[in-house]
Amino acid sequence: MNSSEENSKLELEKNIQTDFKKAMSYGDYLHLDKILASQHRLSDHHDEMLFIIIHQASELWMKLIIHELTASIGYIRRNDLEPSFKILSRVSRIQQQLIQSWSVLSTLTPSEYLEFRDKLGQSSGFQSYQNRMIEFALGNKNTHTLAVYQHQTQIYEKMQEALHKPSIYDAAIQALVARGIPVDVEVLNRDLSKNHEPNESVEEAWLTVYRNVDQYWDLYELAEKLVDIGNQQQLWRFNHMSTVERIIGHKQGTGGSSGVPYLKRILDQHFFPELWSLRTKL
């Protein structure tokens, strides 16, 4: 194709907007000037840009997960389960993006990371309040972690509020009760700022659902969506741990944690325990 033919084809697109003096452009809508100006390297090392962008992009995905989980919890608490299914499927896809991001970060070698690690000071992914809010929303509550945010009043208050809100699993258990499936009162009236402890009545309630799928299809579908996002969160945790081990071995984390040993302990904290234990009893 010669240049005149190319120009002819381009001229066919006469409706393409080119004047944005009084119109909103793509960059305006997304505030790209602010987003793309937010990568400030503290060293001259080439790979620090990778480190910054991976974490910033992850925080954006986490913001979307929180947005989606909040909506899903709202639907479930109103006993309107079906709209939550698509939302939870989306959360699972977003989690896959976060999991994949670790493989990109793992291209950073130990020697390269050491070139700028000292510039990070005491900052650490452990301090990500959005990741903590996701854990809270999934039911992993931990009051002690809030101490990290005391220097940021608004975030601290937001975290306190999230700590005392029902998790998605609390909402799902209430949905069981709304359908006439009994659950112990102490489970329903528990302190929401604490972790849900495995309970026989909750396991029996879910077993009722799994043994009567036709009768409780929506609750069954909800349970499987929860298993999916719980499993994806575990995969994210595992990839986080293995990436950290690959890059820094068993060094202490920049925020003061034990690093890999701490991340390995986190892997023992499972989500939605009865949805896993029932599989043995079916």
How many angstroms separate the CA atoms of 224 and 179, rounded? 18
pLDDT over threshold 80, residue 56? yes
Name the DSSP class of 181.
Answer: -
Report percent pLDDT > 90 for the chain.
80
User: Residue 263 corresponds to which amino acid?
Assistant: L
User: Residue 112 corresponds to which amino acid?
Assistant: E
**Kindly report the CA angle at 101 between 39 and 258, in degrees rounded to 5?**
85
How many angstroms separate the CA atoms of 192 and 130, rounded? 19
pLDDT in tens, 110-154: 999 999 999 999 888 889 999 999 999 999 998 888 999 999 999
111 alpha carbon, distance to own chain's centre: 29
Q: In the predicted model, what is the mean pLDDT of residues 259-275?
A: 89
Higher pLDDT, 6 or 72: 72
pLDDT in tens, 60-105: 999 999 999 999 999 999 999 999 999 999 999 999 999 999 999 9
Q: What is the pLDDT of residue 118?
A: 94
- Phi first, then psi: give them for residue 26, nearest 5 degrees: -55, -50
How many other CB atoms sit within 10 Å of the CB of residue 143?
A: 11
Q: What is the pLDDT of residue 223?
A: 98
Q: What is the pLDDT of residue 18?
A: 79
Q: In the predicted model, what is the mean pLDDT of residues 40-51?
A: 97
Residues in contact with 214: Cβ distance below 8 Å, sequence separation at least 6, in sequence order = none
Q: What is the pLDDT of residue 266?
A: 82
Q: What is the pLDDT of residue 16?
A: 81
How many angstroms separate the CA atoms of 206 and 220, rounded? 8
Which residue's structure tokens are 């939605």? 272
Q: Could you tell me if 173 and 205 are in contact, meaning their C-beta atoms sit under 8 angstroms apart?
A: yes
Q: Could you tell me if 45 and 112 are in contact, meaning their C-beta atoms sit under 8 angstroms apart?
A: yes
Q: What is the pLDDT of residue 3?
A: 63
Q: What is the pLDDT of residue 142?
A: 87
How many angstroms separate the CA atoms of 156 and 162, rounded? 10
pLDDT in tens, 161-207: 999 999 999 999 999 999 999 999 999 999 999 999 999 999 999 99
Q: Give per-residue burial for 189-198: e unless 16+ CB within 10 Å, then b.
A: ebeeeeebee
How many angstroms separate the CA atoms of 170 and 194, rounded? 11
Tally the residues of the chain: 282
Q: In the predicted model, what is the mean pLDDT of residues 262-274?
A: 89
Which residue's structure tokens are 């079916």? 282
Q: In the predicted model, what is the mean pLDDT of residues 36-56?
A: 97
In the chain the first and final C-alpha atoms are separated, in Å, by 66
pLDDT in tens, 202-228: 999 999 999 999 999 999 999 999 999
- Phi first, then psi: give them for residue 180, nearest 5 degrees: 85, 10
**What's the pLDDT band for 253 if we cut at 50, 70, 90?**
confident
Q: In the predicted model, what is the mean pLDDT of residues 17-25?
A: 87
